[in-house]
Structure 1
Amino acid sequence: MIPIQELLLFILAALILVITPGPNMIYLISRSITQGRKAGLISLAGIITGFLFHVTMVSVGLTAVLLTIPFAYTTLKMLGVVYLLYLAFQAVNPKNQGFFEARKDLKEDNPKKLFSMGFLTSVLNPKIAVFYLSFFPQFIKPEFGSVFIQSLQLGITQMMVSFTVNFMIVISAAKISVWFGANPFWVKIQKWFMASVLTGLAVRMALDKAK
């Protein structure tokens, strides 16, 4: 099992990552605003189910790769550093769609389609697989036990963090969107804060790699 101090650091990282701009969050906010909280929650259920798919696939893959290819750990750590720096850049990229810039032209869909769209949005999002593959190895150590169990532990933790944050955002999506629309200064603060934390995590990973 992963030590509590490492798990707490992972939770902090997962919390920062879940509020970075991405198709899942933008879809949830858009759906919640256009069709209501219930639609947002059904869509969220689909997205979390998609996370479960990724976690299962990545856990099996990491177990096979990290135990059979000696340099795979270092390679994945380097990918993690590059990925976090990319996310930091995207957070402040003026061309990138803002976190609370939701679409308001979505048509109403039934619960089955809402769930399916949420699931497909999650499963077909390559950033999720890249995040798991590049980020999980930073917290997985052979001395902590089974690589597969550690991967599942991290995956379930990330899903819980993501669900909690997304649930709160779905519940208050309309109010949040209006508030940030009326206070663009805080949108910039939010973006630069996320970029700073993501860059800090990337530096930590790079230094850890060099040990």
Structure 2
Amino acid sequence: MVDLVMLVAFIPAALALNVTPGADMMFCLGQGIRSGPRAAWAASAGISTGSMIHVLLAGAGLSTLVATLPYAFDTIRWVGVAYLLWLAAQALRRPDAPTQDQNAPRGRPYGAGLLVNLTNPKVILFVLAFIPQFVDQNAGPIWVQFLLFGAIISVCGFFVNGLVGVFAASLGQRLANGSRVLDWISAGIFTALAGRLTVLEKA
């Protein structure tokens, strides 16, 4: 069983990591600005799901292979770049789109958040570098500990990123008189995230 002191120490560390601005937070911010709070929460749920998938892979030892194979790292990275640029292009292809659709379906932002997280290879390296510091071989099965710590990170991230998206949604409402402004802001965020992925290195 995971030591209670270790668990208590892990929670603030996970929270501190989640409040640090990164690609996931910026993506939820963009979703909130363009499509409102529901889309932001859906995107945050997709990101949290992606985080848990990374944790499952790490617990199974599969992420170690990805982290040690340069071509696998680069393949994932460039898929992420292409997808983010596609999202940026989509944001600019609808000049007559409404500013914020509060009743928009949740499937699209959820799936987009999931893909953005899964195609960010830095998440794989983060999981492999951070969680093992808290894993105790004498505290039970390693994969169970990975799941527990990963679930904490995912839940904290869900609320942090979702709240950032809700805050951004209020900004989007203030810009409601010009939907093209929202389109360009969203496209700019997606393009910036793609640019960030292009310069990522494994080290």
TM-score w.r.t. structure 2 length? 0.60
Unaligned runs of 5+ in 2: 66-87, 98-103, 173-203
Query: In 2 relative to 1, CA 176–14 (structure 1 residues): closer, same or farther, beyond 3 Å?
Result: farther
Report the CA distance between 1:136 and its aligned residue.
Answer: 1.0
Query: In 2 relative to 1, CA 174–37 (structure 1 residues): closer, same or farther, beyond 3 Å?
Result: closer
Q: Distance in 2 between matches of 1:160 and 1:116?
A: 18
Which among 104, 113, 117 is matched to residue 108 of structure 2?
A: 113
Which among 119, 125, 137 is matched to residue 124 of structure 1?
A: 119
The SS at the match of 2:2 is coil
TM-score w.r.t. structure 1 length? 0.58
Matching residue of 1:25: 25
Matching residue of 1:47: 47
Report the CA distance between 1:175 and its aligned residue.
Answer: 5.3
Retained in 1: the 8 A contact 2:31–2:39?
A: yes
Retained in 1: the 8 A contact 2:33–2:171?
A: no
Query: In 2 relative to 1, CA 151–176 (structure 1 residues): closer, same or farther, beyond 3 Å?
Result: farther
Matching residue of 2:38: 38
User: Which has the higher mean CA deviation after the structures are superposed, 159-168 or 119-128?
Assistant: 159-168
The SS at the match of 1:20 is coil
Kindly provide the CA deviation profile for residues 143-191 of structure 1, in whole angstroms up to 9, marking residues without a partner as x.
Answer: 11111111111111111111122232222234589xxxxxxxxxxxxxx
Kindly provide the CA deviation profile for residues 74-132 of structure 1, in whole angstroms up to 9, marking residues without a partner as x.
Answer: xxxxxxxxxxxxxxxxxxxxxxxxxxxxx9x9466864332221111010111211111
Which among 145, 156, 159 is matched to residue 164 of structure 1?
A: 159
Retained in 1: the 8 A contact 2:117–2:123?
A: yes
Q: Distance in 2 between matches of 1:45 and 1:137?
A: 24
Unaligned runs of 5+ in 1: 66-102, 178-211
- RMSD of aligned alpha carbons: 2.7
The SS at the match of 1:2 is coil
Kindly provide the CA deviation profile for residues 20-69 of structure 1, in whole angstroms up to 9, marking residues without a partner as x.
Answer: 2211110101110121111111211211121121111011118x99xxxx
Q: How does 1:1-211 map to 2 (within 5 A)?
A: 1-61=1-61, 106=91, 111-174=106-169
Retained in 2: the 8 A contact 1:122–1:128?
A: yes
Identity of aligned residues (%): 32
